[in-house]
Amino acid sequence: MRRNFLWGGAIAANQSEGAYNEDGRGLANVDLLPYGEDRLAYMSGEIDSLELQQKYYYPSAKGIDFYHSYKDDIKLLAEMGFKSFRISIAWTRIFPNGDEEEPNEKGVKFYENLFLECKKYAIEPIVTIAHFDCPVNLIKKFGAWCSREMIACYEKLYKVLFTRYKGLVHYWITFNEINMILHAPFMAAGITFKDGEDHEQVKYTATHHELVASAMAVKYAHEVDPENKVGCMMAGGDYYPYSCNPKDVMEAMNKNRENLFFIDVQARGEYPEYAKKQLEQKNITLPILEGDYELLKEHTVDFVSFSYYASKVAASDSSEKRETAGNLVKSIKNPYLTLSEWGWQVDPLGLRITLNTIWDRYQKPLFIVENGLGAIDKLTQNHEIEDDYRIAYLSEHIKEMLHAIEQDGVDVLGYTSWGCIDLVSAGTGQMSKRYGYIYVDADDHGQGSYKRYRKKSFYWYKKVIESNGAILLS
């Protein structure tokens, strides 16, 4: 186990900050995701408008008001002994339209203050440059990541971040869950589809642009500060074959490759042969320009980060097999696993398996930057929350991570559980789907005091960090 293991938690700008139109912030794709039954259609790019509409409630507009409460929130995290805190940048705070010549100083200052607050408590910020954010202006102007113009806009953004926060931030992640572009293209990359367009072609075109932008960011980050460590990030969780039928095994391999493909490029520096063949068979052409391959090859990431909520199951014939929900991707139900209240499979050992898969493949330090249980919490009259179910989930998962480190030799930089402070759910827009150690008194419609309360898991996680995980193994 690394001596300076980065225990901590994670949040994202669009799910926590709120203040969506304060201090010059511009409108982003994530602001347009409504609460309610139309949310899924929006996330996948079936958009009828790029304006806010009266008929909807938009939970990101208020988030958990982190924009105003960050000092008190970070103080609570410090009380738990956090060594790291993963946050993301709201692109439109820095560049409200995405293509201005100069950044919005108020936005730049906000994150500077936030990082200084972390520094006060010796908390290492882990900063995701784009956690699903894309300025609406760039969607209107260029069609978001489908256009190569986006690379220059993203370049402007990371140049400001790397230079202005030099010395304050050492860990960067270029894109959150880059593989989500396949499943929620509007939420993940601002993509909307025109009639008759080949969706796969559009998604892989955007993917190539993000991969090039990511490699350029790695290059520049290292030039500005050799101390910078830049990582890629995928929605992880291995697919298991439904049975030992070789056809199921083949299907699971293909499904895993669908996700690992992105990391193959970012960590190994080239498009893998299987991907080239598959894209060719689907008549998909990548918009490769001269110099792209060299850039990808020469500027691979320093570490590989991922989110892990559950493993998944694949079968060559999935008809008549029971399905269950997951992190935006459904899976065949695994008969050996239980389900969360939202139908996500609970598989702690799957975390150890996934860690080993990724470590074997890339041999680069790994970082678990999201893991946790979305659950309903009850606030008692005394403002207490007995979240034993969350403690049980996290204990089992962290234990398996420790086994992967101690028994399998996997190199892990840190562990930041998801939603360390309750926040808006990305998938559903709910506040009632809670992940935190800290309860936020707000409901699904933005009603509540927004006061913070320590849950039982708060005191538990403090002890985990204090003991460097040892209390879980004794």
Provide the binding-site residues for ligand BG6, judged by CB under 6 A: 12, 15, 176-177, 235, 307, 327, 370, 374, 418, 425-428, 433
Tell me the residue ranges of DSSP E strands in 345-404.
345-346, 366-370
**Strand-pair category, 331-332 with 412-418:** unpaired
How far apart CA 263 and CA 205 sit, in angstroms, is: 16
Q: How far is the CB of 344 from ligand BG6 (least distance, A)?
A: 8
Measured from the CB atom, is 143 or 190 closer to ligand BG6?
A: 190
From the list 392, 367, 294, the residue with the least C-alpha distance to 124 is 367
Q: How far is the CB of 179 from ligand BG6 (least distance, A)?
A: 10
How far apart CA 27 and CA 99 sit, in angstroms, is: 13
Q: How far is the CB of 176 from ligand BG6 (least distance, A)?
A: 5
Measured from the CB atom, is 117 or 177 closer to ligand BG6?
A: 177
The CA–CA distances, whole Å, from 217 to 62, 90, 198, 314, 401 equal 30, 17, 29, 35, 29
Q: How far is the CB of 112 from ligand BG6 (least distance, A)?
A: 24
Q: How far is the CB of 22 from ligand BG6 (least distance, A)?
A: 22
How far apart CA 59 and CA 423 sit, in angstroms, is: 10
Measured from the CB atom, is 34 or 374 closer to ligand BG6?
A: 374
Measured from the CB atom, is 66 or 220 closer to ligand BG6?
A: 66
For residue 51, which phi and psi values (nearest 5 degrees)? -115, 160
Measured from the CB atom, is 180 or 405 closer to ligand BG6?
A: 180
Are the C-beta atoms of 435 and 27 separated by less than 8 Å?
no
First-last CA distance in the chain = 16
Secondary structure of residue 351 in the 3-state scheme: helix
Structure tokens at 82: 């956090």
How far apart CA 208 and CA 202 sit, in angstroms, is: 10
Q: How far is the CB of 346 from ligand BG6 (least distance, A)?
A: 14
Residues 390, 458, 82, 165, CA torsion sign: positive
**Strand-pair category, 438-440 with 452-454:** antiparallel
Q: How far is the CB of 39 from ligand BG6 (least distance, A)?
A: 10
Measured from the CB atom, is 91 or 271 closer to ligand BG6?
A: 91
The CA–CA distances, whole Å, from 244 to 240, 260, 315, 402 equal 10, 22, 10, 29
Secondary structure of residue 28 in the 3-state scheme: strand
Measured from the CB atom, is 12 or 267 closer to ligand BG6?
A: 12
Are the C-beta atoms of 254 and 238 separated by less than 8 Å?
no
Residue nearest to ligand BG6 (CB): 427
Residue type, 377: D
Rg (CA), the chain: 21
From the list 144, 331, 128, 93, the residue with the least C-alpha distance to 232 is 128
Q: How far is the CB of 21 from ligand BG6 (least distance, A)?
A: 21
**Strand-pair category, 338-339 with 345-346:** antiparallel
Q: How far is the CB of 247 from ligand BG6 (least distance, A)?
A: 29
Measured from the CB atom, is 26 or 372 closer to ligand BG6?
A: 372
Contacts of residue 63, defined as CB under 8 A and 6 or more positions apart, other chains included, come to: 14, 15, 16, 17, 18, 19, 423, 424
Measured from the CB atom, is 6 or 431 closer to ligand BG6?
A: 431
- Residues tagged active-site: 177, 370
How far apart CA 465 and CA 471 sit, in angstroms, is: 9
